[in-house]
């Protein structure tokens, strides 16, 4: 393998030096956006040399107008099959499916014949139908139920990545629309996050006290994850899926303070030490909440759970204070029934997050208000 080049930079160079000159010469009237968005570790900026073993390499997606797709898709593809070099920066430009893994591509070194390239031509509307199961248009209205059933990992890969050319401006507009949740939906998600903490924060001590140390460890791990998710929300960043969750957290502004505390909670061998570390994390995250200015300042010190010796931050008080600030009627109605949050907050099932039919059924639940 040649020296590693981060995928976004490799694709930028590929577009500028190989793709754009051919488009200018062969299709001078074509209006398009060129970008790398969607799936792929390089989209998030987390690719490493190991990423090169599949679905990685010089590529770009050209987004054309709906009316131009039929006219240009096949001619553009055919031109690049014959005009691209077999290698770019030492990497093959031709790809093949990995045997037994339909749709998963790897490099196909070639020295003759057409190039099976990854210069893809589509429309943004078609792309988002397949990727997000959403019928996007320039004047698209994103409903509450849509926001709550969009997996954060997919939203992150739409606003991350890179745009190399803006002949249409559709991709830039879409990224602006998806940049972050509307204010009241953001409040709803914050409230749901605090409610999750409230529901389990006393159980680290309770399970540990009866000798169930593995149960205490598991609950501590869940609470650490919930606190990390809250931090993503507070810093207004979509969280990626589990493979990159910790990596992305490490890039948040709060990570230098919280990471050692989380490490201590997860490494603790007894529930009291675990509780001490979690208490320190609660204080810091509560201070972050107060720094947002979305409610009156709330207590940042932990206290005992009623008459029991378990230290808690009383997450439900944060949830109630945040919920009181929601003004959108549809969001208020949902919050008044139950704070289940978004698809990411109540389920980590990959099948649920990825399967469009299941997410459609979930939208019905949100739209009904109960």
DSSP 140-193: ----HHHHHHS-HHHHHHHHSSEEEEESS-HHHHHHHHTSS--HHHHHHHHHHH
What Å distances lie between residue 39 and 15, 153, 205, 260, 331, CA to CA?
18, 9, 40, 31, 30
Looking at residue 361, what is its pLDDT? 78
pLDDT, residue 121, reads: 98
Which pTM does this prediction carry?
Answer: 0.94
Token pair of 319, please?
A: 């949830």
Query: For position 370, what pLDDT does the model report?
Result: 52
Pair of tokens at residue 183: 């204010």
SS3 339: coil
Q: C-alpha angle 254/256/258, rounded to 5°? A: 65
Instruction: Report mean pLDDT in 10-residue bins for the chain, 370 residues.
Output: 95 98 97 97 97 96 97 97 97 96 93 97 96 88 93 97 97 97 98 96 96 97 98 98 96 98 98 97 98 98 91 96 96 89 88 79 73
- Which is nearest to 298 in space by CA: 313, 281, 277, 309? 313
Q: Decide if 229 contacts 237 (C-beta within 8 A).
A: no
Q: State the Cα–Cα distance between residues 359 and 365, nearest whole angstrom.
A: 10
Helical segments of the chain, H only: 7-14, 20-26, 41-44, 69-83, 124-132, 144-149, 152-159, 170-177, 183-200, 203-209, 213-234, 242-249, 255-267, 271-292, 315-323, 329-337, 343-346, 350-354, 356-368
Structure tokens at 108: 């196909």
Length of the chain counted residue by residue? 370
- Domain borders along the chain are 7-177, 183-368
- pLDDT confidence of residue 369: 61
Strand-pair partners of 95: 107
């Amino acid at each position: 393998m040649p020296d590693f080049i981060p995928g976004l930079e490799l694709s930028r160079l590929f577009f500028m030096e190989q793709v754009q000159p051919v488009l200018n010469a062969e299709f001078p009237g074509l209006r398009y956006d060129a970008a790398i968005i969607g799936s792929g570790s390089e989209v998030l900026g987390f690719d490493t040399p190991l990423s090169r073993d599949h679905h990685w390499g010089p590529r770009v997606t050209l987004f054309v107008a709906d009316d131009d797709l039929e006219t240009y898709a096949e001619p553009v593809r055919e031109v690049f099959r014959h005009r691209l070099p077999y290698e770019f920066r030492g990497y093959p430009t031709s790809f093949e499916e990995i045997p037994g893994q339909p749709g998963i591509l790897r490099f196909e070194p070639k020295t003759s014949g057409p190039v099976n390239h990854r210069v893809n031509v589509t429309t943004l509307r078609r792309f988002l139908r397949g990727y997000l199961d959403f019928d996007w248009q320039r004047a698209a209205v994103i409903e509450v139920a849509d926001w709550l059933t969009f997996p954060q990992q997919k939203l992150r890969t739409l606003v991350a990545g890179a745009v190399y050319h803006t002949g249409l401006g559709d991709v830039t507009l879409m990224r602006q629309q998806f940049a972050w949740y509307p204010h009241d939906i953001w409040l709803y998600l914050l409230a749901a996050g605090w409610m999750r903490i409230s529901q389990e924060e006393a159980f680290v001590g309770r399970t540990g006290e009866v000798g169930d140390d593995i149960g205490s460890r598991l609950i501590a791990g869940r609470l650490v994850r919930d606190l990390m998710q809250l931090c993503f929300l507070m810093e207004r960043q979509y969280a990626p899926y589990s493979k990159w969750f910790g990596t992305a957290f490490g890039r948040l502004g709060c990570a230098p303070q919280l990471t050692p505390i989380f490490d201590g909670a997860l490494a603790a061998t007894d529930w009291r030490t675990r509780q001490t570390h979690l208490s320190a994390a609660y204080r810091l995250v509560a201070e972050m909440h107060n720094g947002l200015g979305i409610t009156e300042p709330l207590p940042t010190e932990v206290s005992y759970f009623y008459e029991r010796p378990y230290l808690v931050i009383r997450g439900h008080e944060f949830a109630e204070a945040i919920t009181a600030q929601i003004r959108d009627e549809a969001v208020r109605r949902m919050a008044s029934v139950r704070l289940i949050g978004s698809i990411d907050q109540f389920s980590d099932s990959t099948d649920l997050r990825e399967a469009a039919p299941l997410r459609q059924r979930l939208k019905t639940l949100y739209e009904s208000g109960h």
